[in-house]
């Protein structure tokens, strides 16, 4: 444990830098960390976030100010300037490009942001003497697997430049951790983050065509898109559509808090799946969103996409055992929270032209 931690009502606390903290998962984690007694600080270049999210976090957290630095995570000296002499206990590294399809079109840009960004961050942390790092990894590091649910011990591979950056990121942490015992890493392999904060004030709001299923369904629900394209209904699943493990973003945020507390208290690294272990199909998701909205949503079945698999589910026992995390929320809560956000925060932001 570093000497910088303080105890607050028996909990570990202290300053935590969130790279990409203005983004979808980062903003929810900011709130969860503050609730747990930490003092989060944001670093973000706002390439995929609106500045107005800061005002929304302030309202949720009832704070008059938030410390936020508009910096590119590849700028190691600028990160060092934030960290030095400041009593940071840890960093959570969200900042990354995340669209699988785009990564195929722009592999160098993805490798630069995601891999160079990680290295530049770690160099700054080392200079500043901050050695606890929680890393946003992804179930994409498992590639295609035969054994479902997927255990953390499964062989890792990559099927896109994006997945490559996450796998390389994990391997960098493993090598550094083996060679230098000062470092402790929490590698969190997210399954499918979805939903929004219960306040309805922050959530996922992609400007472009959404890469993920839920924001796409949300746009069908608002009428922006006429119907959902369902890519194949002849998979080997209960209704023929692909089954995935959707995790509520508020649960995911809580997992970061537990990972951080474990890193700081136990001074040892972990690599774990963050999911629910429960699978839902595209049709399950469409029906649940329809229940949240109050009417059925249109869809059309179109041919399968290359690379899609029947079922992707994570084994969740290690998360329970190593960091004491298990998901609280299910599919209906995920859909209801998304719809609440679409009808409140996201609508206000669009009406007010927030940037």
Ligand X SMILES: NC(=O)c1ccc[n+]([C@@H]2O[C@H](COP(=O)([O-])OP(=O)(O)OC[C@H]3O[C@@H](n4cnc5c(N)ncnc54)[C@H](O)[C@@H]3O)[C@@H](O)[C@H]2O)c1
Q: Applying CB under 6 A, which part among 23-31, 57-65, 240-248, 257-265 lies near ligand X?
A: 23-31
Site string for ligand X, 312-351 (x = CB under 6 A): ----------------------------------------
Q: Applying CB under 6 A, which part among 72-80, 150-158, 263-271, 318-326 lies near ligand X?
A: 72-80
Which of 5, 12, 17, 24 lies at the binding interface for ligand X (CB under 6 A)? 24
Structure tokens at 125: 């942390």
CA dist 297 and 334 (Å) reads 17
The reply to whether 25 sits near ligand X by the rule CB under 6 A is yes
The site for ligand X, by CB under 6 A, has a size of: 26
CA atoms within 13 A on the CB side of 337: 23
CA dist 64 and 330 (Å) reads 33
Contact 246, 191 (CB under 8 A): yes
The reply to whether 187 sits near ligand X by the rule CB under 6 A is no
Closest CA to 309 of 279, 275, 334: 279
Q: Applying CB under 6 A, which part among 24-32, 79-87, 149-157, 175-183 lies near ligand X?
A: 24-32
Site string for ligand X, 137-166 (x = CB under 6 A): -x----------------------------
**What residues pair up with 231 in beta bridges, in sequence order?**
302
| Of residues 216-255, those binding ligand X (CB under 6 A) | none
| Of residues 189-208, those binding ligand X (CB under 6 A) | 190, 193
- The neighbour count for residue 51, using CB atoms within 10 Å, is 13
- The neighbour count for residue 178, using CB atoms within 10 Å, is 10
Contact 128, 83 (CB under 8 A): yes
162 catalytically annotated: yes
Site string for ligand X, 40-59 (x = CB under 6 A): ----xxxxxx----------
Q: Applying CB under 6 A, which part among 15-23, 223-231, 304-312, 321-329 lies near ligand X?
A: 15-23
Nearer to ligand X, 94 or 235 (CB): 94
The reply to whether 109 sits near ligand X by the rule CB under 6 A is no
Closest CA to 192 of 313, 297, 99, 306: 313
Contact 16, 259 (CB under 8 A): no
Which of 162, 246, 280, 329 is catalytic? The answer is 162
The reply to whether 94 sits near ligand X by the rule CB under 6 A is yes
| Sign of the C-alpha dihedral computed for residues 299, 305, 310 and 315 taken in this order | negative
Nearer to ligand X, 80 or 94 (CB): 94
Which of 212, 237, 241, 338 lies at the binding interface for ligand X (CB under 6 A)? 212
CA dist 174 and 199 (Å) reads 38
Catalytic site positions: 162
Binding site for ligand X (CB under 6 A): 20, 22-26, 44-49, 72-74, 94-96, 98, 113, 117, 136, 138, 190, 193, 212
């Amino acid at each position: 444990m570093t000497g910088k931690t303080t105890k607050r009502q028996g909990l570990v606390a202290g300053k935590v830098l969130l790279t990409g903290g203005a983004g979808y998962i980062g903003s929810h984690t900011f709130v969860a960390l503050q609730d747990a007694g930490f003092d989060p600080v944001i670093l973000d270049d706002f390439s995929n976030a609106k500045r107005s999210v800061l005002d929304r976090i302030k309202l949720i957290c009832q704070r008059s100010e938030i410390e936020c630095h508009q910096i590119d995570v590849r700028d190691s000296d600028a990160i060092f300037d934030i960290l030095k002499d400041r009593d940071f206990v840890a960093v959570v590294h969200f900042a990354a490009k995340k669209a699988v399809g785009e990564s195929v079109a722009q592999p160098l840009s993805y490798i630069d942001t995601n891999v160079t960004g990680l290295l530049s961050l770690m160099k700054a942390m080392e200079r500043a003497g901050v050695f606890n790092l929680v890393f946003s990894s992804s179930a994409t590091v498992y590639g295609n697997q035969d054994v479902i649910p997927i255990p953390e011990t499964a062989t890792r591979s990559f099927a896109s430049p994006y997945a490559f950056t996450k796998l390389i990121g994990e391997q960098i942490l493993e090598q550094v951790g083996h060679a230098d015992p000062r470092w402790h890493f929490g590698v969190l392999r997210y399954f499918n983050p979805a939903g929004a904060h219960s306040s309805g004030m922050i959530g996922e709001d992609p400007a472009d065509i959404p890469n993920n299923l839920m924001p796409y369904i949300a746009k069908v629900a608002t009428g922006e898109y006429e119907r959902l394209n369902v890519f194949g209904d002849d998979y080997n699943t209960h209704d023929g559509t692909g089954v995935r493990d959707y995790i509520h973003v508020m649960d995911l945020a809580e997992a970061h808090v537990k990972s951080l507390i474990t890193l700081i208290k136990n001074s040892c690294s972990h690599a774990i799946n963050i999911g629910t272990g429960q699978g839902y199909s595209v049709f399950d998701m469409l029906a649940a969103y329809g229940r949240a909205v109050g009417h059925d949503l249109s869809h059309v079945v179109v041919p399968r996409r290359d690379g899609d698999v029947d079922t992707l589910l994570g084994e969740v026992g290690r998360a329970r055992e190593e960091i004491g995390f298990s998901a609280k929320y299910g599919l209906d809560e995920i859909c209801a929270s998304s719809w609440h956000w679409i009808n409140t925060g996201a609508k206000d932001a669009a009406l007010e032209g927030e940037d």
